[in-house]
């Protein structure tokens, strides 16, 4: 992405632009052409989704990271389609502007393009998502092609793919050394298959910048340096709720400590009789 591009006008900016409709994949493509960087966050519920939508976040991902931050699993592998669809529907109902992307969970699309179509169709019909995301390189290109031909926008995801953590040998940086060429090839293949954007997770910054330069579709970095077209974080990591975060996470608030203090103060007031006070009590 060019660093010399002029900033977009307020009316057409993805972040902070005034609009009375949802962001579309066409808007993302135009942002790439303008050289506009934009933010993406995960979202899983109505209250926080509304806040992020009001803040102007143009794309919200109902990530399979819900496995960790909502359902308490140790990895993203166990979460199911039936667990993610209600979260997707809640995010869509509570937002008006953001493009809502739903993650296809492990085991729900790898089997065949037809399986991918059946799963993605459920997210579009039952969850009202505007797009879906899936992980993997050239091996899932047929799935991407099938979904796009059926009218379902697809966000691809290469580099560190958490659903494949068991075969990757843990959460490790991908695309170093000779592996860089393979990652670039995968990204290009997914673009050819019709993906409207490609997430690059935990890859060297120079490689991410190279991929971004060579793709015509937007790249979304997470642990991939500043050279991508967009950035995404799990919102609980960003806001200081997660007990442990990766090196690439910057914490912008300390909501964990704020909630602990609020819970402790509430408990103390209940115990000593300070709550409920008269102003919180109904008279006869």
Helix ranges, the chain (H): 25-34, 46-54, 66-69, 81-93, 113-125, 141-149, 165-168, 179-193, 205-214, 235-238, 255-272
Contacts of 154 (CB under 8 A, 6+ apart): 120, 131, 132, 133, 134, 144, 147, 148, 193, 194, 195, 196
Burial 178-194 (b: 16+ CB within 10 A, else e): eebeebbebbebbbebb
| From 135, 201, 261, 269, the catalytic residue | 201
Do residues 58 and 98 make contact, with C-beta atoms less than 8 angstroms apart?
yes
201 in active site: yes
CA distances from 155 to 55, 80, 104 (A): 23, 19, 10
- What positions carry a catalytic annotation? 201
């Amino acid at each position: 992405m060019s660093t010399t591009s002029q900033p977009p006008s307020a009316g057409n900016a993805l972040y902070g632009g005034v609009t009375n409709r949802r962001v579309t994949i066409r808007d993302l493509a135009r942002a790439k052409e303008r050289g506009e960087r934009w933010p993406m966050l995960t979202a899983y519920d109505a209250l926080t989704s509304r806040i992020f939508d009001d803040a102007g976040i143009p794309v919200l991902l109902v990530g399979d990271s819900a496995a960790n931050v909502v359902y308490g699993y140790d990895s993203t592998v166990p979460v199911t389609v039936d667990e993610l669809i209600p979260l997707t529907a809640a995010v869509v109902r509570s937002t008006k502007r953001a493009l809502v992307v739903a993650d296809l969970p492990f085991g729900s699309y790898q089997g065949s393009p037809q399986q991918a179509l059946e799963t993605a169709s459920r997210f579009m019909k039952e969850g009202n998502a505007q797009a879906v995301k899936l992980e993997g390189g050239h091996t899932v290109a047929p799935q991407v092609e099938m979904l796009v031909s059926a009218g379902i926008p697809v966000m691809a995801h290469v580099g560190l793919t958490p659903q494949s953590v068991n075969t990757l040998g843990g959460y490790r940086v991908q695309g170093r050394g000779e592996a860089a060429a393979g990652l670039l090839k995968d990204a290009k293949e997914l673009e050819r298959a019709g993906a409207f954007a490609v997430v690059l997770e935990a890859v060297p910054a120079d490689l991410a910048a190279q991929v971004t330069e060579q793709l015509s579709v937007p790249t979304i970095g997470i642990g991939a340096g500043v050279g991508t077209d967009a950035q995404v974080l799990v919102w609980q990591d960003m806001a200081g709720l997660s007990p442990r975060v990766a090196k690439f996470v910057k914490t912008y608030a300390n909501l964990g400590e704020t909630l602990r203090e609020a819970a402790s103060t509430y408990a103390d007031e209940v115990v000593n009789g300070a709550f409920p006070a008269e102003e919180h009590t109904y008279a006869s």
